[in-house]
A and B are shown apart, each in its own frame.
Chain A
Amino acid sequence: MTATLTGPAEAFDHEALFYRDEEDFLAGLLPFVREGLEFDEAVVVVEPRARLDLLRDALGDDASAVDLRDMAEVGRNPGRIIGVWDRLLGEHTAAGRRLRGVGEPAFAGRRESEYFECRLHELLLNHAFDGGAPWRLLCPYDETRLPRAVVRAALHNHPTAGTSAGRRPSPDYAPGEVAELFAAPLPAPGEAVLRGTYGPADVPATRRTVAQYARRIGLPEDKVEVLELAASELATNSVQHGGGSGTVAMWTTPSAAIVEFHDAGRLTEPLTGRLMPALDQEGGRGIFLVNQLCDLVQLRSSDEGTTIRITTWL
């Protein structure tokens, strides 16, 4: 074990920090944050609100120098988080400051499907930032309250792991898992599913059908409109890039409304839809927009085709 204090990053440094309780959380985090401030780095902490309050109190006057953001908002859909870090990294690097981040996407109390997306998100961070501008990202994991599988997975998707006592390379780090996870089928729905197919002329009908379904199950109008827009963009993608047609499936669980699109297309880049498209880029905005607007978006692609599952929490 080496000490927690680490110095400025020389590459992308992605570390899991396992903590047992609030005291341990602060013992691991405070030296990391304070060191960033000493080096005049841009320190951004994205944590659930209760952890932010804890950290703010502990930092005292230093809190004003730290960019504190609510993970429940930023990472409501984990598919949005990489885009946020990417923008921060670009802005601060351009301004000549090094970025130092803290992010706890897999916070206690999340749902199983969210933890699963957090796992893919953590793996994709390495894929997105390895070899790019140097910065440090520390990801706290609550080993007391989180499911064991979530804690174990963090050892697979972080090259470095540690506790408040120190850090070391993670022997279980497995960056190759990203391809496996991205190609794996999503769990089959356990409920009754409404299913339809669409072709090139059916995009308006598809979005209206999805909107009708969303209204019928009682979603508020703003969520209905978001799903209608998502349906139009994703069905358009199928028509233009996914073999010209696709299927839409809709079902409801006790906690969520789910709309899923599938077509025969194959996406080879697992970061698709996570990074802000360049302003002059022609296409590639549909999935990015859906990621920004929806509660949970799960994208999978393999030889079997591409599936995008959109979850709206009830």
Chain B
Amino acid sequence: MTQVPAASTSDHICWVYDEDDASFDRTVRRFLAGGLERDERLLVVGERVIASLGSAGDGIGDAAALIAAGALRTLTMAEAYEEAGEVVSGTQRTFYDAATRTALADGYSGLRVVTEVSPLAEDAGTRATLVEWEHLADEYAAEGSGFTAMCAYPSRLSAQALADVATVHPLVHADAVPPFQVFFDDDRLALTGSVDTFSAERLARVLASSPVGDDGAVLDLGQVEFVDIAASRVIARWAQDLEARSLPLEVRGASPLLQRMWQVLGLTQVAPVAFTRAGA
């Protein structure tokens, strides 16, 4: 695995790591050190990442001193979910929102979080909620709230689990990138990569859980590599669901072929979508 790139403010990175302790510890500390350079408060969630702090030096100095100074906080998974509530995306967001605001109020430039909560990703039941929360966290990071996060998942998880969690991150550092990604870019929801019959259901789940404001949603397809009929129908069904809630859907940057497919399949009649050009 090549080096995980340094994070800028408001990044949301999915890092799929191999079981190499030295490299894992180094990457966690380098990510945290980047936060210290930017005067961000650090939050480390999960036993595996907390263990990385105990190792020698390498960028972040004395963890105990940072904790004493209030610049670093650690939460085991049990502590995190006692404090932030069960993995219900809304309560998680409230917790991280409060933590980010407090960091800003305390004079930090933001909150930088590194998490390793792979037990939640292993279980198919909790994974669905975890993915919902990751998607919401992505929106929160993209808002420019000052929240930056790296979510570490071990490569030993099933391909399905890894694809589920990686899909909702704008930045994915892994040997096997998921076929598509859905993430927030300013106020737009961006879809990149390829969605076909075999991955359309995953797209349906992400869209169904996607936060949509009162003005409706903008889905940006400008960077999509490929979508098939099944994927188009998933987007059409989302448009129908939004319409039922009186929320409009704008689809930006769709290729001429995709728009022709919508027309040919009669999706224009059932799914109220405003197609607009890229960069509109």
B269 touches A279 (CB 8 A): yes
Which range contains the number of B residues in contact with the other chain? Answer: 10 to 19
**CA A104 – CA B257 in complex, angstroms?**
28
B260 CB within 8 Å of chain A = yes
**CA A277 – CA B264 in complex, angstroms?**
10
Knowing A233-B229, A289-B264, say if A225 contacts B196 (CB, 8 Å): no
Contact flags A177-213 to B (C-beta < 8 A → 1, else 0): 0000000000000000000000000011001000000
In the complex, chain A residues whose CB is within 8 Å of the CB of B266: 276, 279
A204 touches B229 (CB 8 A): no
A245 CB within 8 Å of chain B = no
Residue of A nearest to B233 (CB): A285
**CA A203 – CA B230 in complex, angstroms?**
14
B264 touches A293 (CB 8 A): yes
In the complex, chain B residues whose CB is within 8 Å of the CB of A207: 226
A240 touches B197 (CB 8 A): yes
A229 touches B264 (CB 8 A): no
Give, as a whole number of angstroms, the nearest-CB distance from A232 to chain B.
5
**CA A286 – CA B228 in complex, angstroms?**
9
Contact flags B249-271 to A (C-beta < 8 A → 1, else 0): 00000011100110011100110
Q: How many residues of A contact B (CB 8 A)?
A: 21
Knowing A203-B196, A285-B229, A292-B264, say if A229 contacts B270 (CB, 8 Å): no
**CA A207 – CA B231 in complex, angstroms?**
15
Contact flags A256-280 to B (C-beta < 8 A → 1, else 0): 0000000000000000000011010
**CA A233 – CA B196 in complex, angstroms?**
9
Give, as a whole number of angstroms, the nearest-CB distance from B198 to chain A.
7
A232 touches B270 (CB 8 A): no
In the complex, chain A residues whose CB is within 8 Å of the CB of B269: 279
**CA A294 – CA B260 in complex, angstroms?**
12
Other-chain residue from A204, A222, A236, A277 in contact with B194 (beta carbon distance below 8 A)? A204
B265 touches A289 (CB 8 A): yes
Q: Which of B202-227 contact A (CB under 8 A)?
A: 226
In the complex, chain A residues whose CB is within 8 Å of the CB of B85: none
B226 touches A228 (CB 8 A): yes
Knowing A236-B228, A285-B229, say if A229 contacts B194 (CB, 8 Å): no
A37 CB within 8 Å of chain B = no
Contact flags A271-314 to B (C-beta < 8 A → 1, else 0): 00000110100000110110011000000000000000000000
B261 touches A289 (CB 8 A): yes
Give, as a whole number of angstroms, the nearest-CB distance from B272 to chain A.
14
B260 touches A293 (CB 8 A): yes
In the complex, chain B residues whose CB is within 8 Å of the CB of A72: none
In the complex, chain B residues whose CB is within 8 Å of the CB of A203: 196-198
Interface residues of A (CB under 8 A from B): 203-204, 207, 222, 225-226, 228-229, 232-233, 236, 240, 276-277, 279, 285-286, 288-289, 292-293
A–B complex contacts, Cβ < 8 Å, 9 sampled: A204-B194, A207-B226, A232-B196, A232-B228, A236-B197, A286-B229, A288-B264, A289-B265, A293-B260
Beyond the given A204-B194, A222-B256, A226-B257, could you list 16 further A-B residue pairs with CB under 8 A, ordered by the A residue number? A203-B196, A203-B198, A229-B228, A232-B228, A236-B197, A236-B198, A240-B197, A279-B270, A285-B229, A286-B229, A288-B264, A289-B229, A289-B261, A289-B264, A292-B264, A293-B260
**Closest 8 A/B residue pairs (Cβ):** A292-B264, A236-B197, A225-B257, A232-B228, A285-B229, A279-B270, A279-B266, A232-B196
Interface residues of B (CB under 8 A from A): 179, 194, 196-198, 226, 228-230, 255-257, 260-261, 264-266, 269-270
